[in-house]
Amino acid sequence: MADQLQVIENEFWQVGILPETGASLAFARVRHNGEWLDILRPTPAADYGNSSRCSSFIMLPWCNRIRDAQLRFGSQTYQLRPAPDDGTARHGDVRNRPWRLEVQARDRLHLSLNSLEFPDMNFPFRFSARALFWLERRDFVIWLSLKNEDTYPMPGGFGHHPYFVRPDGGNTPVVQIPCSHQFELVDFLAIDAPVPVKPELDFRQPRRLNECEYNDLLTRCQPDEPVRITYPDWNIQLALYSDPIFQHILIFTPLGKPFFAVEPMTNANDGFNLYVNRIPGSGVFVLLPGEDKSGMVRLRIRAVE
């Protein structure tokens, strides 16, 4: 898979992209003291074909999990292929699919996918998607779109699953997430409308991760306020800006691992079931035939004192 790696770069960023592995990222590095420094978890070349091992992958046409792998929409229930570990349908079905290369330049890469090319797609509606990656000086930008290519309305969602590096000691990341509410989760699935964030999950003020374990979904972020990730020893801060369509932020910090995830998502965990049960906050959108939705995520690097 190493020969499939596409690299975009400028004076501040160097990003590796794997079109054959779901448009996943192999690495994202920033210039620091004259050298390239990994900000996202780097992917070993031997794992370039496995999106779960990548630095980041795309979730589409839904984010996170669907309970019992059953997609309910309108009067229909569609049985999807479940994950073997928990029986849910998880993270959509594009992250291990090959995407078509549309535009390639030193500082940008445009990719596309059409579900019609994959008869085994784990989704009952026909759709297409585009993923555009480009660099604007200190900003690394990802633009993602989902389009209904079917003759019926379809529910949808999308998101990103980046893994950031998590050094220990004095360089433990400090994280700030400007969300005022959270979802109550059972088996990682949302069960009701969001509630005000509890103190132990309140990241509106910067918090050092330390030996904390989270797998939680936050929502109702302050408009125009980014997620901020600061690495004290490197004097680097990463600001993650996302369009309003990304209503939710999932924070995942597995114990003992040198990485953590902060995931901008349009739909909540098990959002399709929240939607069909008319529970507020699902984030699920419905696309008419030929209609599309899109959203942008921007990672901005800056030095801090």
CA 162 → CA 14, 19, 112, 153, 177, distances in Å? 15, 16, 20, 30, 15
Residue 3 has a pLDDT of: 65
Residue 154 bridge partners (DSSP):
287
Q: Read off the pLDDT of residues 83-136 as tens digits, 9 standing for 90 and up.
A: 999 999 999 999 999 999 999 999 999 999 999 999 999 999 999 999 999 999
What are the structural domains, with CATH classification, of the chain? 2-303 (2.70.98.10)
pLDDT at 253 > cutoff 70: yes
Backbone φ, ψ for residue 116 (5° rounding):
-60, -20
pLDDT digits over 19-28, tens only? 999 999 999 9
Predicted confidence band of residue 2 (pLDDT cuts 50, 70, 90): low
Q: Taking the CB of residue 256, how many other CB atoms lie within 10 A of it?
A: 6
- 200-237 tens-digit pLDDT: 999 999 999 988 899 999 999 988 899 999 999 999 99
What local confidence, expressed as pLDDT, does residue 216 receive? 98
1 pLDDT higher than 70: no
